[in-house]
Structure 1
Amino acid sequence: MATIDKTQQDAEKQAAAMAAVKFVKNGDVVGLGTGSTTTFAIKELGKRVSDGLKITAAASSIRTEELARSLGIEILDLGSLSEIDISIDGADEFTESLDLIKGGGGALFREKIIASLSKNAIIITDASKKVKKLGAFTIPIEVLPLAYQYVSDQIDKLGGKGVLRIAAGEKFITDNQNLIIDADFGLIDDPAKLSSDLNQINGLLAHGLFINLTSKVVMSEGTDIIIFE
């Protein structure tokens, strides 16, 4: 795998974020994702709010909510919303057919709720995230702690290999007080089928395959902005 230049990658993330934020209009309810790429978008939105843009927002994680509030963005209770005008989030991998793997930051459940509520779900990425087939990045799976072993066994039966996510030497705990299993299924020939199979597992709160949930991907490659929709 080619070495990724971090400076170039950050420049591409910022360029994609700035392009996506231009789609936000006065009065919009905006869904805010979680992760390094989305942070660029939230900061850009904060600048527009300070210049007079009137928006409200729903956050996909505690850290996103804290960042948005610090920039003067009004945060709504996600659980009270029936729809979101536009959402901006990142991805760990995406294909030209707009299938995604998300959840590297551990906020996949709330990110999936926001995507499901969004009339216009925009994904922003640098060029390194585009793949021909999903699966080089493992699929994050949020699981209720009491169902951990059961879900792990079901992942095995589907041909995957699950590993409990550890951070700073301890079990990674989501904002919902659950665990994350990072599941390796290899390169995935049929993401929609795997998504459906995973959805049948009791105790699995959410998985990181996002199928038919994305309106467009705004990708920055060098100095170019490329939109997939």
Structure 2
Amino acid sequence: MTSESLDNLKKAAAFRAVEFVRDGMVIGLGTGSTAKHLLAAIGEQVRAGRKVRGVPTSQETAALARESGIPLIDTEDRWEIDVAIDGADQVDPDFNLIKGGGGALLKEKIVAASAKHFIVMVDYTKQVSVLGGSFPLPIEVVPFGWGSTAREIEALTKGRVVLRNRNGVPFKTEAGHLIVDVHIDRIDRPGELETALNLIPGVVETGLFVGRTNTLIVGTPQGVHIFHVPRK
């Protein structure tokens, strides 16, 4: 399938996600290629008179939201987010996720955890039988002693840890941290791994989103499929 065809599936999933948006809602706005379609669709609703406010998960999303005319909440005090809508890099059969390919995993997880309802929208190629393998696990780490942190991550996961670079220099998150991408053949117990990784000094957050998805929207060549998963 071509990249244009996949993008159309992402767009279809995003447009179905907008159906969950109601007047007066505060919406967590995800980051990434599928989220761009979401922002455009919500922007159309705002221009048609819908009253919503957004909490962006990255500066890129904030800029796109403003371009689309979506009002944003400026304060970073305690939010009351009605629904957060975001994409994912992988989704397993239990609706656990790997996220962070775009480098916004920390803000994305904060917003997802703050939302009453978390909606994930993907194209069907993001569905996998087990997390890992074809996509590395991003982990956000503090710069100080990152090599030692990476060594502990490697010992725990038995995977290969690679410092993320952009244009030949280490990639920095908006919070000023680094990201290491961990290549693991398979993640059979994502919940246990998420907990263990977060106990390593220097780890800020992982790209494992375990037990957070309430609704999964999947764009496929046969149409858009929606799955509802009560949060445990």
Any idea what SS the aligned residue of 1:80 has?
A: coil
1:141 to 122, 139, 143: 139
**What is the DSSP-based 3-state SS (H/G/I as helix, E as strand, rest coil) of the residue aligned with 1:135?**
coil
User: Does structure 1 retain, via aligned residues, the 8 Å contact 2:190–2:210?
Assistant: yes
Distance 1:209 1:197 in 2: 12
* TM-score normalised per structure 2: 0.94
Please state whether the residue corresponding to 2:76 is helix, strand or coil. helix
Matched letter for residue 220 of structure 1: G
Q: What is the alpha-carbon distance in structure 1 between the residues aligned to residue 52 and residue 90 of structure 2?
A: 29
The aligned runs of 1:137-216 (5 Å cut-off) are 137-158=135-156, 159-216=158-215
- The DSSP-based 3-state class of the residue aligned with 2:153 is helix
Structure-2 residue corresponding to 1:224: 223
Distance 1:77 1:143, change over 3 A: farther
CA shift for structure 1 position 213: 1.2
- Alignment match, 2:106: 109
Question: Within 2, Cα distance between the matches of 1:78 and 1:151?
Answer: 33
User: Cα distance, 1:78 vs. partner?
Assistant: 6.3
Q: Is the 8 A contact 1:109 1:206 kept in 2?
A: yes
Name the counterpart of 1:53: 50
1:117 partner letter: S
Moved over 3 A (4+): none
**CA deviation profile, 1:131-178 (whole Å, cap 9, x unmatched):** 010002101111110131221011111112110001112111111111
One-letter amino acid of the counterpart of residue 18, structure 1: F
Separation of aligned partners in 2, 1:125 and 1:10: 10
Does the Cα contact within 8 Å between 1:155 and 1:161 map onto a contact in 2?
no
- 1:96–1:228 Cα contact (<8 Å) kept: no
Q: Deviations over 1:204-223 (max 9, x none)?
A: 11110000111111001014
Matched, 1:130 2:127: yes
| Letter paired with 1:139 | L
Secondary structure at the aligned position of 2:41 is classed as helix
Aligned partners of 1:139 and 1:209 also within 8 Å: yes
Number of aligned residue pairs: 226
Shift of 1:68: 0.3
The answer on whether the counterparts of 1:16 and 1:219 sit within 8 Å (CA) in structure 2 is yes
Deviations 1:172-210 (Å, cap 9, x if unpaired)?
111111111001121111111111111111111111000
Structure 1 length-normalised TM: 0.96
Determine if contact 2:93/2:130 at 8 Å carries over to the other structure.
Answer: no
Tell me by how many angstroms 1:116 deviates.
0.2
Q: CA RMSD in A?
A: 1.1
Percent same amino acid at aligned positions?
Answer: 40
C-alpha change, 1:61 and 1:78, in structure 2 (3 Å) is: farther
Q: Structure 1's 78 and 197: CA in aligned 2 closer, same or farther, altered over 3 A?
A: farther
